[in-house]
């Protein structure tokens, strides 16, 4: 048995050996949802939003929530008491063939990763707000999965292309190989979900992290920010040299609850394709505190428990934190069952850009106001999808992975450890082993189609390299009884 500081330093070695990019991060669980409502203080300030959102974070959320309002929140639905920020995304709904909709059960609230890519990362300033994604988009311009990043043409690297690649729809099946983050940029159709995604669908949204250094917000809530050249890593474009923490939202929806039911999944903004997925952020941290966290909470485990600055609350506190529902919305139930979507949002499948839905309305626009391609409800055409993974039948039956010799590198043997030269994506899980009660942490990097797993188990540090293109590597698998990203919730 080694001391915990020894474990941590070994973990740090593993991260350094694996990557030449900054990979410090923490993963903020927001297990409670403060509400589900047509409120969006960023885009529809002071008005009823045209569509519903799943909302997390500080309790002083409302039609006009500002930095000061949120900072004065009585509570937060996130696990760190110092974080009163607001995080919100459209909710996912199931529409039965007869037009009745219900909200899909959300699993474990959401996670917001604070990834510290780039040099000299600055805390979000007071009053900082931003939007990622485009709610009206219904078309995707590029191949899926992404070609290797080193091959991206200038056209594939425009801000528009990068912002489309910043969306992910991760098919969850904990018995199979996990898909990489931001692997697929559209929502699979129901047939695909029913057949493959036994544990639901994880919606992912990566926010831009390159700031123009002056504007706290802009008219479109986007122009003060830019994506770095490779979405997650890479360089900031000129004029946007200030690096802020890179936010990645993950929200899991239990789509498997609808296996066998006739109908389709649709986002609350009337989007059955996923291209119009988006999310919003209003910073509400004390800025000096956040800067200290950025500078010191660099443990590669990503666990908030490993940052000594944070005051951590338990899930019962997070779950009991709710915002006060405004009077205007107190009779509206966006969870359903209801006839159609909350706010009577029409389904628009594209590929044309969806029509603008007006805020402040309680009724939908009449169909004559909408482009002719809009029909509600309508079923999504089947989207072609090819798995980038190699299918490998797991024979290890759960527990910690002992990978094949060819793919195993002891961290002690640093020279042999793979060096990721391309930017890495990060995913980390912490499991309490069902078998021996030991605590383990697994980090997963994805880079150019290759996956790198770092498993930290007490004094044993094992690095596993696997690849989707060289099948002689045996792929490691996630632990069968794992907690999904530490969310600790399993949908039955
Ligand atoms: C529509 O179908 C669903 C599933 O069968 C059912 O639960 C719901 O009550 C139906 N709605 C109406 C208005 O009949
Ligand atoms: C959808 O995207 C493709 C690829 O960029 C483009 O050729 C096509 O015109 C777009 N369709 C619409 C309706 O915008």
pLDDT at 374 over 60: no
pLDDT at 444: 43
Calpha distance 222→218 (Å, rounded)? 6
Ligand 2, atom 10, lies closest to the CA of: 139
Query: Over the range 193-204, which residues count as b (16 or more CB within 10 Å of their CB) and which as e?
Result: bbeebbbbbbbb
pLDDT band, very low/low/confident/very high, at 11 (cuts 50, 70, 90): very low
Mean pLDDT, residues 125-143: 95
State the distance from the centre of ligand 1 to the C-alpha of 264, rounded, in angstroms: 14
- Phi, psi (deg, nearest 5) at residue 322: -130, 150
Q: How far apart are CA 309 and CA 3, in angstroms?
A: 21
Could you say which ligand is closest to the alpha carbon of residue 337?
1
Residue 99 CA: nearest ligand 1 atom is 1
> What spacing in Å lies between the alpha carbon of 97 and ligand 1's midpoint?
8
Task: Report whether pLDDT(131) > 50.
Answer: yes
Rounded CA-CA distance 259/202 in Å is 16
**Adjacent-strand bridge partners of 447:** 450
Residues with C-beta less than 6 Å from any ligand 2 atom: 139, 141, 351-352
Q: Of 451 and 43, which is predicted with more confidence?
A: 43
Ligand 2 atom closest to the Cα of residue 352 is 13
The predicted model scores a pTM of 0.74
Gap between the Cα atoms of 182 and 227, Å rounded: 14
Whether the predicted pLDDT of 191 surpasses 60: yes
Ligand with smallest separation from the Cα of 100: 1
Average pLDDT over residues 194-209: 97
Residues above pLDDT 70, as percent of the chain:
69
Yes or no: say if 442 and 456 are a contact pair by the CB < 8 Å rule.
yes
Ligand 2 binding pocket mutation candidate from 134, 139, 275 (most atoms within 8 A of CB)? 139
What whole-number distance in Å separates Cα of residue 34 and Cα of residue 104? 16
pLDDT of amino acid 156: 92
Pairwise CA distance, residues 117 & 122, whole Å: 11
369 against 132, higher pLDDT: 132
Position 193 scores a pLDDT of: 97
Instruction: Give the residue, by CA position, lying nearest to ligand 1 atom 5.
Output: 96
Q: Evaluate: CB of 98 within 6 angstroms of ligand 1.
A: yes
Q: Whose CA is nearest to atom 6 of ligand 1?
A: 100
Minimal-distance CA residue to ligand 2 atom 14? 352
Helical H runs in 170-286?
190-196
Q: 376: pLDDT confidence band, cut at 50, 70 and 90?
A: very low
Q: What pLDDT was estimated at residue 438?
A: 40
| pLDDT band at 362; cut points 50, 70, 90 | low
The ligand minimizing its distance to the Cα of 373 is 2
Nearest to 447 by CA among 408, 419, 484: 419
Average of per-residue pLDDT across 57-79? 98
- How far does the centroid of ligand 2 lie from the alpha carbon of residue 239, in Å? 29
pLDDT at 46 over 80: yes
CA of 362 to the centre of ligand 1 (A): 23
- Nearest Cα residue to atom 11 of ligand 2: 351
What residues form DSSP beta bridges with 102?
94
Give the contacts of 432 (CB within 8 A, at least 6 positions apart): 438, 439, 440, 483
Q: Is the pLDDT of residue 223 over 90?
A: yes
Residue 124: pLDDT over 60: yes
What is the predicted pLDDT for the residue at 382?
27
Q: How far apart are CA 280 and CA 201, in angstroms?
A: 20
Q: Which of 65-69, 221-225, 320-324, 370-374 has the lowest mean pLDDT?
A: 370-374
Mean pLDDT of 210-227: 97
In this prediction, residue 142 has a pLDDT band, given cuts at 50, 70 and 90, of: confident
Condensed to tens digits (0 to 9), the pLDDT of residues 247-264 reads 999 999 999 999 999 999
Spacing, Cα 350 to ligand 1 middle (Å): 26
Span from the CA of 100 to the centroid of ligand 1 (angstroms): 6
What is the pLDDT, as a whole number, of residue 361? 66
pLDDT, residue 89, reads 98
Cis peptide, bond prior to residue 294, ω within 30 of zero: no
Per-residue model confidence (pLDDT) at position 407: 23
Which ligand is in closest contact with the Cα of 139? Answer: 2
> What's the confidence (pLDDT) of residue 226?
98
Q: What length does the chain have?
A: 492
pLDDT score, position 143: 87
Nearest CA owner, ligand 1 atom 8: 100
Is residue 393 in contact with ligand 1, taking CB distance under 6 Å?
no
Ligand 1, atom 13, lies closest to the CA of 100
Integer-rounded Cα radius of gyration of the chain: 22
pLDDT of residue 467: 34
The arithmetic mean of pLDDT across residues 84-89, rounded, is: 98
Q: Is 260 in the pocket of ligand 1 (CB under 6 A)?
A: no
pLDDT at 423: 29
Alpha carbon distance 346, 341 (integer Å): 7
Which of 95, 99, 100, when mutated, tests ligand 1's pocket best, judged by the most ligand atoms within 8 Å of its CB?
100
Residue 100 beta carbon below 6 angstroms from any ligand 1 atom: yes
Q: What is the mean pLDDT of residues 385-414?
A: 22
| pLDDT for 452 beyond 70 | no
Return the exposure string of 357-391: e unless at least 16 CB atoms fall within 10 Å of the residue's CB, then b.
bebeeeebbeeeebeeebebbebbeeeeeeeebee
What gap in Å lies between CA 397 and CA 394, rounded to an integer? 7
pLDDT reading at 29 higher than 60:
yes
Atom 3 of ligand 2, nearest CA residue: 141
- 58 strand-pairing partners: 76
State in Å: Cα 204 to ligand 2 middle.
23
pLDDT score of 1 more than 80: no
Q: Ligand 2: distance of its center to the CA of 60 in Å?
A: 41
Q: How far is the CA of 149 from the centre of ligand 1 (A)?
A: 46
pLDDT band at 359 (very low <50, low <70, confident <90, very high): confident
Q: Is pLDDT at 227 greater than 90 in this prediction?
A: yes
User: What integer is the mean pLDDT of 110-116?
Assistant: 96
Q: Is the pLDDT of residue 476 over 60?
A: no
List all residues 6 or more positions away from 292 whose beta carbon is below 8 Å from its beta carbon. 309
Looking at every residue in the chain, the average pLDDT score rounds to 76
Which bound ligand lies closest to the C-alpha atom of 371? 2
Higher pLDDT, 408 or 230: 230
Counting ligand 2 atoms within 8 A of each CB, the residue from 134, 185, 351 with the most, and so the one to mutate, is 351
- C-alpha pair distances (Å), 489 with each of 65, 110, 136, 407, 463: 30, 12, 32, 31, 27
DSSP 8-class letter at 373: T
Q: How far is the CA of 108 from the centre of ligand 1 (A)?
A: 27
């Amino acid at each position: 048995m080694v001391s915990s500081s020894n474990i941590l330093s070994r973990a740090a070695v593993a991260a350094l050996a694996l990557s030449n990019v900054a990979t410090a991060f923490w993963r903020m669980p927001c297990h409670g949802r403060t509400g589900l409502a047509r409120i969006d203080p960023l885009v529809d300030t002071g008005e009823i939003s045209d569509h519903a959102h799943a909302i997390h974070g500080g309790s002083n959320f409302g039609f006009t929530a500002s930095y000061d309002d949120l900072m004065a929140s009585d509570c937060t639905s996130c696990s760190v008491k110092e974080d009163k920020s607001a995080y919100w995304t459209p909710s996912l709904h199931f529409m039965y063939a007869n037009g009745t909709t219900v909200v899909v059960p959300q699993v474990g609230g959401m996670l917001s990763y604070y990834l510290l890519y780039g040099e000299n990362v600055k805390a979000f300033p007071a009053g900082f707000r931003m939007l990622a994604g485009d709610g009206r988009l219904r078309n995707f311009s590029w191949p899926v999965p992404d070609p290797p990043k080193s091959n991206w043409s200038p056209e594939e690297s425009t801000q528009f292309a990068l912002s489309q690649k910043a969306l992910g729809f991760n098919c969850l099946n904990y018995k199979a190989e996990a898909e990489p983050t931001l692997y697929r940029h559209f929502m699979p159709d129901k047939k695909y979900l029913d057949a493959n995604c036994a544990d639901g669908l994880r919606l992912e949204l990566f926010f831009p992290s390159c700031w123009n250094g002056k504007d706290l917000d802009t008219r479109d809530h986007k122009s003060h920010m830019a994506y770095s050249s490779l979405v997650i890593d890479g360089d900031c474009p000129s004029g946007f040299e200030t690096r802020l923490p890179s936010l990645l939202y993950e929200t899991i929806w239990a789509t498997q609850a609808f296996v066998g039911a006739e109908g389709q999944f649709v986002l609350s903004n009337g989007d059955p394709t996923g291209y119009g997925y988006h999310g919003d952020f209003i910073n509400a941290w004390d800025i000096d505190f956040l800067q200290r966290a950025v500078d010191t909470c660099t443990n590669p485990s990503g666990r908030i428990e490993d940052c000594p600055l944070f005051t951590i609350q338990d899930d019962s506190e997070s779950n009991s934190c709710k915002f006060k529902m405004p009077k205007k919305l107190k009779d509206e139930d966006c969870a359903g069952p209801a006839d159609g979507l909350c706010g009577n949002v029409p389904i628009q499948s594209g590929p044309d850009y969806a029509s603008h839905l007006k805020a402040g309305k309680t009724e939908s626009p009449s169909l004559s106001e909408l482009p002719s391609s809009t029909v509600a409800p309508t079923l999504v055409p089947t989207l072609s999808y090819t798995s980038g993974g190699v299918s490998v039948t797991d024979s290890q039956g759960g527990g910690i992975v002992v990978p094949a010799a060819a793919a195993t590198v002891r961290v002690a043997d640093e020279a042999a450890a793979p060096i990721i030269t391309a930017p890495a994506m990060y995913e980390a899980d912490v499991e309490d082993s069902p078998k021996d009660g030991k605590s383990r942490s697994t980090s997963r990097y994805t880079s150019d189609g290759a996956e790198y797993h770092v498993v930290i188990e007490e004094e044993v540090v094992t690095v596993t390299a696997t690849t989707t293109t060289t099948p002689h590597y045996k792929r490691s698998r996630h632990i069968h009884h794992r907690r999904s990203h530490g969310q600790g919730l399993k949908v039955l």
